[in-house]
Amino acid sequence: MKLKPLLALATLSAASGLAAAESPAKYSTPEEFRLSGVSLVEGRYKGESALEIKMPSSSYQDQGRERLLDRDFMAWLPMDFTDGTIEVDVASDLASDAPDYARGFIGVSFRIDAQSRFESIYLRPTNSQADDQERRNHSVQYAGYPDFRFDQLRKESPEQYETYADLELGRWIHMKVVVEGAKARLYLDHAAKPAFLVNDLKYGAGQHGGIGIWIESGTVAHFKNLKVTHGNSL
């Protein structure tokens, strides 16, 4: 699935280096997003206004016929993000027809370019609560689409690009992703220290582009309070 060309790009240059952080911009209406294989509507979740994102069941991967891979199902903002901070509250549940491998996949994609390449950090909430320790260790995941998906990274660099975090379905989880050059840090639930570190983003410091909320098969997700700050906020 190819993303539509980026529109209304900001003038921030990817080659300009770190800049002072701007005031955060907030995004809260479906009309601000481009859609890649998903629906996005206004609704309520846990008594609060939120955006709901999901994919049709016809798009679920068939584990019996194909490899399970990270794909590009997301609602995304067409901007020119290079370095900065992305903050959002996310919550995911399993659809009534979710496949057995569904994990409540929900996360943040960033630096989405015109060739559909992007980096992402996402959550598997059901893994966090599993009785199996190996599954628990796969609660948080980094991937670079389409060339550095989770299965390849897990095979080539076991444990480097995923970790455990205390997550669960059906509750708000605050994600803050701080991106600087070829590094990204994930902070969960307003913690002062990062839960997850990526020191070698696969598309490098020069990658730039849009920002999205990403899901995979069997997820019905909600998000609110999406804020993006360009520049060095560290």
Which CATH number covers residue 101?
Answer: 2.60.120.560
In a domain, 176, yes or no: yes
In a domain, 14, yes or no: no
In a domain, 7, yes or no: no
Q: How many domains does the chain have?
A: 1
pLDDT of residue 8: 38
In a domain, 81, yes or no: yes
In a domain, 73, yes or no: yes
pLDDT above 70 as % of the chain? 91
pLDDT tens-digit readout, 73-90: 999 999 999 999 999 999
Question: What is the residue range of 31's domain?
Answer: 25-56+68-230
In a domain, 181, yes or no: yes
Closest CA to 209 of 79, 27, 25, 87: 79
In a domain, 20, yes or no: no
pTM of the model: 0.91
Q: What's phi and psi for 126, nearest 5 deg?
A: -65, -30
Mean pLDDT of the chain: 92
Residue type, 17: G
Residue type, 75: A
| Lowest-pLDDT range of 64-68, 74-78, 110-114, 217-221 | 64-68
Residue type, 116: S
